[in-house]
Amino acid sequence: MSLTYWCERAWLPDGVADDVLVEIDGTRISRIEQGPPGSAERLPGLTIPGLANAHSHAFHRALRGTTQRGQGDFWTWRERMYEVAARLDPRSYQRLATAVYAEMALAGITCVGEFHYLHHDQGGRPYPDDPNAMGHALIRAARAAGLRITLLDTCYLSGGIGVPLSDVQLRFGDGDSERWAARAELLAAAYEGQPDVEIGAAIHSVRAVPPDQMPAVAEFSHRHAAPLHVHVSEQRAENTACVEMYAATPVQVLHERGALGPRSTAVHATHLTDVDIELLGQSGTYLCMCPTTERDLADGIGPARAAADRGARITLGSDSHAVIDLFEEARGMELNERLASSKRGHWPAADLLAAATGEGHTSLGFPDAGLLVPGAWADLVSVRLDSVRTAGASGLEAVVFAATAADVHSVVSGGRRVVAQGRHVLGDVAALLTEAIEELR
| Predicted confidence (pLDDT) per residue in 124-159, tens digit | 999 999 999 999 999 999 999 999 999 999 999 999
321 — pLDDT class (breaks 50, 70, 90): very high
In angstroms, what is the C-alpha Rg of the chain? 21
pLDDT at 74: 76
Instruction: Answer for the pair 98, 432: CB distance below 8 angstroms, yes or no.
Output: yes
Cβ–Cβ contacts within 10 Å for residue 277, how many?
A: 21
pLDDT at 71 over 90: no
What mean pLDDT is predicted for residues 215-244? 97
DSSP secondary structure string for all residues of 20-89: EEEEEETTEEEEEEE---TTSEEEEEEEEEPEEEEEE-GGGGGGTTTS-SS---HHHHHHHHHHHHTT--
Q: 319, 325, 379, 407: which one is catalytic?
A: 319
Q: Quick one: CA dihedral 223, 49, 319, 133, positive or negative?
A: negative
Predicted local confidence at residue 336, as pLDDT? 96
Quick check: 393 pLDDT over 80?
yes
Beta strands in 145-296 (DSSP E): 148-155, 158-160, 163-164, 197-203, 228-232, 264-268, 286-289
Helices of type H across 194-325: 214-224, 236-246, 250-256, 274-283, 291-296, 304-309
Query: Which listed residue (229, 268, 361, 424) is catalytic?
Result: 268
- pLDDT of 1 higher than 80: no
Per-residue pLDDT at 72: 72
Residue 152, pLDDT score: 99
232 vs 421: CA distance, rounded Å: 39
Name the DSSP class of 27. Answer: T
Terminal CA-CA length for the chain: 44
Phi then psi dihedrals of residue 126, to 5 deg: -60, 145
pLDDT digits (tens, 9 = 90+) for 191-224: 999 999 999 999 999 999 999 999 999 999 999 9
Q: What is the pLDDT of residues 156-191, one digit of tens each?
A: 999 999 999 999 999 999 999 999 999 999 999 999
| Mean model confidence pLDDT for the chain | 96
For residue 213, report the phi and psi dihedrals to the nearest 5 degrees: -95, -10
Q: Specify whether the CB–CB gap between 228 and 217 falls below 8 A.
A: yes
Q: Are 270 and 295 contacting, i.e. CB atoms less than 8 angstroms apart?
A: no
Quick: pLDDT tens for 410-441: 999 999 999 999 999 999 999 999 999 999 98
Helical (H) or strand (E) element with 54:
strand 51-56
> 3-state class of 82 per DSSP?
helix
Q: Are 262 and 290 in contact (CB under 8 A)?
A: no
Q: How many CB atoms lie within 10 A of CB 35?
A: 10
319 annotated active-site: yes
pLDDT at residue 66 is higher than 90: no
